[in-house]
Structures are given as structure tokens and as C-alpha cells.
Amino acid sequence: MSDTIVPAFVLRNLADKLYEKRKNAALEIEGIVKQLTIAGEHDKITAIINLLTTEFTYSQQANHRKGGLIGLAAATVGLTSEAAQHLEQIVPPVLNSFLDQDSRVRYYACEALYNIAKVVRGEFIVYFNQIFDALCKLSADSDANVQSAAHLLDRLVKDIVTESDQFSIEEFIPLLRERMNVLNPYVRQFLVGWITVLDSVPDIDMLGFLPDFLDGLFNMLSDSSHEIRQQADSALSEFLQEIKNSPNVDYGRMAEILVQRAGSPDEFTRLTAITWINEFVKLGGDQLVPYYADILGAILPCISDKEEKIRVVARETNEELRSIRADPGEGFDIGAILSIARRELTSEWEATRIEALHWIATLLARHRAEVISYLNDIFGSLLSALSDPSDEVVLLVLEVLACIAKDAPHFRHLVVFLIHNFRSDHSLLEKRGALIVRRLCVLLDAERVYREFSTILEGEDDLDFASIMVQALNLILLTSSELADLRALLKQSLVNVAGKDLFISLYASWCHSAMATISLCLLAQAYQHASSVIQSLGEEDINVKFLVQLDKLIRLMETPIFAYLRLQLLEPGKYTWLLKALYGLLMLLPQQSAAFQILRNRLKTVPSIAFNTDQLKRASSGNPYSQILPVSEDIIRNQDSGNMHNAINFASRLQQFEHMQNQHRMHAKLQQQSRKATPSTLSQEMQKSDESRRPSPISDTTRPPSRSSWNSGQFQH
């Protein structure tokens, strides 16, 4: 029937290779369809459309397909207002032609659909998703003419959509979300263009669906094309402004996307993401509480970003987030935030590690009980951070640890773990030992810290480590300004109960080191006991390590800390035991050592005094704890037998010292036997130490304040 409706010459011209003939044939079809429309003969119109579809648009011949497309467009024009009822027949074959292998066919398909759309306008919306999908592909067509035709069609479709009240954004979003991951630059421009247009339509709520395509927009910020980056940034800026002005925003879903994009290798993407996060933290309120940990995980690395703009925004965001006081009952996950902070403690960037510690400190201050419940998870990381190369990081770690250690059980755990770490990592003791101990003394009370260290070290199984640790603590005690009050209390050990208790507490572990014990006695002004300790030393005790420690003590005695001791030398009659102790030390030093010269020169300045025979006898024989001089000072009276209920039992202390030193001697012998090596003589070891001008391998924290202790000739026989 359709053959009789449309003359044969029209059908023949419609398939001609010449465009003009096809065009004229199309005009003939338009006229025929127009007449049939007026007559209301839609059955015949349907037959014509079927003919154009089956015999032309689906033909194997390219010219037939071209003719079919222009014919369908002409038929639509002829139908005018009646075209809507035939769109189901007309549009599918045109859309199918967008996939044609012949670029000219694709071009004419664009032209045909353009003319069809101009006629039907809003009725066209029902096919929007299919048309959008086709245009998306044509925007990246290999033929420039097809691209141009597609752009013209695209503009028309946008106009139709913006004026239509039938467009369904809900049906369109899944298609848009699927296409957002395409990398082709032409497709990306096409997509951003559509997002911008749809967002400009008041009746279309693109903001409500932003989480569905937000990640795709951020992905475009790193495109190699400047134009695409600019378009994506412009679209994102517009959406961010809308978010600021909108009362209903789904911050949660978008926060997850922003967190991922904040870690992008692309600088511009990171900056944009962290800027969005900054605004979200200010605007999000309760919605963002469950996402605080993820947001923090994005912020902390950006604080150390190489780009200053990112660092500035990240710091501002971090402060803003930390200022928000959220409650665990509101979904505030303390454990998750602590996990993030703990992870960032191992960051390669100092600024990030510092902020992670600030977060732990903040949580401790606000939610102490909850943080303590996670102590097993974070304690090890905090202790490991004590080896950090940054002093600022170490000091912050100590503040956090001190805050945790306010409770007695945690305080003991802290000291136990510190000693364990010092034992297992000697470099920590060498590099950070003094800093750690001094700072803890400031934060937690010096006496409490030293008593705990002493209690634990008294029973230390590793005797070599115990000796080194005690030497380190002793040097810190003798030199640190933070421990001035502790030294003052120890100076009152013979007249003050608190001083006596402290002396006895420290003495128990100081026995691990002979020189530390002697130093403690000199500090406590227990000169008689110092002399007894010196007299108790055996030949095996006088080794290189001992002499190195003695050298350090002699030099420390020339510092302001021991000024009181040097002034007491002005009264040799009153402080006979001090003189005897110092001469005892002098006798232990090699005569050619610098320390020997220092101490001998000091003793030469002591005023001469005539000792009577009885005093000398009593000082050198009989009970070593009987006072030889009838001096009236409280220090001396405290040692008299008449006041023994307050006095230190020095006889018992000496036994304690000798017992501990015997353990060290036995340990040293066992070590020598296990090594089965013949040790070099003491003088050879001293000669080697002197020639190399290097200290023996002991803790750096026990170095004397002056490098002059390694002068040439030291400790040579």
C-alpha cells in the first residue's frame, strides 16, 4: 500500500547518491504526509514510516540509509502537531543509525533527529536517556562533521529539556553516574555541560543527587586538558556555593568521596577536596560526627603537603574539627580517631606526627576514660614515637604519656615500658634518654619518677643494662636543672626524713654502679659512707668503664652543682671524711690522667690542718661508722649512736652495695668464660682508649658536660 501512496520516482530519488535528489524526494514525502495528516489517514502514514524504516534506514546500502533518515525527518515535519503518536516508530531507527559505520550516515542521523526534535519539542523527552546516551558517544566521534552535528543537536536537546516539565532527573542520574568515569575529553566536556545546564534549571534538584556524580567531577580536575579542569572546577564551585545556602544537604555520602580525593596525587584535586572538607566541617554539624575519623585521616597528611595553600587550609580545618566537642553517644567514634592518630604517628612528615599527638592529647583531656580503654592499642605506638628524630615530637609524646600516667597503675606501667624500651633499644637511651627522663621529671614529679625507676631497676635481671641505666640516671640527677629540688632534698639525707627515704630508695638500685653509688653519697654528704664504698672496691672493679665514670665525676665536681662540696674543703677539720673520700678517689686514678691532675690540683688548695694522733687512728681503724671528730653540726650528730632511730643504717647499706657488686663480678666472670677470650690488660685498654680519644661504648646520656675528658694521656699508666 505504501508503494502506491509514495510514487516510485520519489522512492527512487530518495535512495539516490546525490543529496539534492534525496532532499527533493524528502520534500515530496513531507507533502504526502501533510495531506494524509489533514485527512486523518494515520494508517497510511504508519505504512509510509514502516517503508522508510525497513526498506531504507535498515538497508545494506548507505544511500538508502541516508534517504531513509531524511525521509523520516520529512514525515515528522509533515505530521506537525500529530507527530507525537508516531514517535515510537520514527525515533528508534534514527537512534540506531548513530551507530552506523558510515560517518555520513551518522551525520544525517544527527540532522534527522535535530529536525524531528524541532517539531515534537517536549514530546521528545520520553526518549531523553537514549538520546543522551547516543549524544555522549557522538561527542567523541572520530569524524569532525559528525561532532559538529552532534553539538547542534545537543544544544537543541538542552533547550527542550530546560523548558520541559516532564524531564525525570531520577531516571537520568543512574545514566549520568555510569558515564562520569569515562576518560575521553570530549565526553567529559559533554557531561560537565549537561550537569551545568541541569543545575541551572530551578525545578531540577541536581544538588540532591550530587553524591552520585561528585566523584566524577573531582576526577576531571586532574584532566590533561586545561579547559576540562576549568569547567569541572567551575561546576564544583557552583555546587559548593549552593551547599552553603541549602538547609538540606547529604554531607555524609559526599564526605566519603572528599576523603578519598584529599589523597589524590594531583595537587589541584587535593586542594579542592580539602577546601570542600573545610566547608563541610563548618556546615555539616551532627551529620558529620560519624565521619570525623575519616575526615581526620584526610586532613593530617595534608598538613604536611608540599603545596602551601593545601597546608594552610588543612591546618584551618584541623583546628576547626578539634574545636568541635562531640560526645560518643552522638556517634563520635573515639577508637576510630585514635586509630587514625596512631597511624599518622609513623608519618614521614613531622608536622603530621605533631598534630596526631595533639589529637591524642585533646581526646585524653575530654574523654579520658574512653581513651584509657584503648590504651593497649596506642601505648606501644607512643613509646615507639620516643625514638622520633624530632625533639618536638618526643616532648609531645612525653606530655601524652605523662597525662596517661597520672593514675598510679599507668604510671608504673609507663616506667616499666620505658625501661623495657631502653633495654631493647640502647640507641633510644643514648639519643633520647636524658630528654625523656628530664621531661618526665617535670611533668610527673622528679622524686616520684626516680623512686619508680629505682624500684624497678633494683630487681633488673640484665645487670649490664642496669649498670648503664643507673649511670645515665645518676648523670641526669647530677647535671639537670629540672632536678635541682631533688638534689637539694638528697643533700638533707642525714638530717631530713624525706631526704633519708629518698636516699635509701635510690641507693638500692644505684648499687648497680659503684661510681653512681659514690656520686650519690657525695651528693647526700654521706662522706664517711662514700669513703667506705671506695675502700670496699676490689681489683676487678677498677676497670676501664669504672675509670671513665670516675673521670666524669671528677669533672662534675668542678661544676657549680658541687660548689657546696668544694666550699666544705675550706674546713678540713670538720669534713675529714670528705677529704679521705676524695683522696681515695685520687689513689684510684692513673697519675698521668687528666682527672688525676684536676683532683690533685683541687686538693692542693685545701687549707693545711694538724690532725692529732687519736683522730688519725680513729679515722683509719675501728668502726668505720664512728665519728672521729667532735663536730656539733646536725649532719654529724645524726650519725651518732644516740640518734640512730632517725639515722641511715650505713652498715646495712654497705652490705647491700657489696652484695650487688658481687653479683656483677660473678656476671662478668661468666661472660668472660662464655666468650673464651683472653682480655687485654687494663693498661693496654686504657692506652687504646687514650689514643683513639673516644669514650668507651657507654650511653651518650652519661657523657660529661665537657669534651676535655678525652684529652691526650688520660688513664695512661
Integer Cα distance of 184 and 190 in angstroms = 10
Q: How far is CA 694 from CA 592, 646, 697, 708, 711, in A?
A: 17, 45, 9, 11, 10
* C-alpha span between 200 and 91 (Å, rounded): 28
Number of H helices and number of E strands within the chain?
38, 0
Please choose, from the candidates 157, 161, 164, the residue with its C-alpha nearest in 3D space to the C-alpha of residue 115: 157
- Average pLDDT for the chain: 87
Inter-residue contact 88 to 53 (CB < 8 Å): no
Pairwise CA distance, residues 540 & 537, whole Å: 8
* 661-711 residue pLDDT tens: 999 999 988 888 887 654 444 444 444 434 433 333 333 333 333 323 322
| Residue 287 confidence (pLDDT) | 83
Return the minimum-mean-pLDDT range out of 294-298, 547-551, 634-638: 634-638
Average pLDDT over residues 80-88: 90
Q: What is the pLDDT of residues 324-352, one digit of tens each?
A: 888 887 788 999 999 999 999 999 999 99
The predicted pLDDT at position 539 comes to: 85
Cα gap 514→663, rounded to integer Å: 12
Pairwise CA distance, residues 478 & 473, whole Å? 9
> Cβ of 416: how many Cβ atoms within 10 Å?
12
Cα distance between the two ends of the chain: 130
pLDDT in tens, 186-223: 999 999 999 999 999 988 999 999 999 999 999 999 99
Rounded to an integer, the average pLDDT of 168-181 is 93
What cell numbers appear for 484 in the block? Answer: 635541682
Model pLDDT, residue 165 = 85
Q: How confident is the model at residue 712 (pLDDT cuts 50, 70, 90)?
A: very low
Lowest mean pLDDT among 374-388, 544-558, 568-582, 606-620: 606-620
Q: Are 547 and 514 in contact (CB under 8 A)?
A: no
Provide the pLDDT for residue 2: 52
Please give the Cα distance from 316 to 296 (Å, whole number): 12
Query: pLDDT-derived band of residue 409, with 50, 70 and 90 as boundaries?
Result: confident
pLDDT above 90 (res 91): yes
Q: Which residue has the cell 622528679?
A: 446
**Grid cell at residue 468:** 648503664
> How many percent of the chain have pLDDT more than 70?
88
| DSSP structure class, residue 681 | P
CB 159 within 8 A of CB 201: no
**Structure-derived torsion over alpha carbons of residues 138, 141, 143, 145, reported in degrees to the nearest 10:** 30
Report d(CA 210, CA 227) in Å as an integer: 22
> How far apart are alpha carbons 201 and 402 in whole angstroms?
59
The strand ranges marked E within 526-680 are none
Distance between CA atoms of residues 182 and 201, nearest Å: 25
Q: What is the pTM of this model?
A: 0.77
124 is written with which cell numbers? 521528545
Q: State the pLDDT at residue 124.
A: 84
Between 682 and 453, name the one with better pLDDT: 453
3 band by pLDDT with thresholds 50, 70 and 90: low
Say how far apart CA 149 and CA 139 lie, in whole Å. 9
Residue 25 CA from chain centroid, whole number: 74
| 3-state secondary structure labels for all residues of 151-171 | HHHHHHHHHHHHHCCCCCHHH
Q: Tell me which residue of 303, 311, 292 sits closest to 353, measured CA to CA.
A: 303
What would the DSSP string read from start to end of 114-158?
A: HHHHHHHGGGGGGGHHHHHHHHHHHTT-SSHHHHHHHHHHHHHHH
Spatial CB neighbours of 424, under 8 Å, sequence gap ≥ 6 = none
Task: For residue range 510-551, list pLDDT tens digits in order.
Answer: 999 999 999 999 999 999 999 999 999 988 888 899 999 999
SS3 track for 628-658: CCCCCCHHHHCCCHHHCCCCCCHHHHHHHHH
CA gyration radius for the chain? 46
Mean pLDDT score, 478-482: 94
Mean pLDDT of 617-641: 42
Report the distance separating Cα 251 and Cα 245, nearest Å. 14
Give the separation between CA 227 and CA 233, rounded to whole angstroms: 10
In the prediction, which pLDDT does 286 show? Answer: 78
* CB neighbour class for 21 (10 Å; exposed up to 12, middle 13-18, buried from 19): middle
HEC assignment per residue over 234-273: HHHHHHHHHHHHCCCCCHHHHHHHHHHHCCCCCHHHHHHH
Q: Is the pLDDT of residue 98 over 80?
A: yes
Q: How far apart are CA 21 and CA 108, in angstroms?
A: 15
Closest Cα partner for 301 from 333, 261, 336?
261
pLDDT in tens, 592-603: 999 999 999 999
Mean pLDDT in residue range 465-481: 95
User: Per-residue pLDDT tens for 115-157?
Assistant: 999 999 888 899 999 999 999 999 999 999 999 999 999 999 9
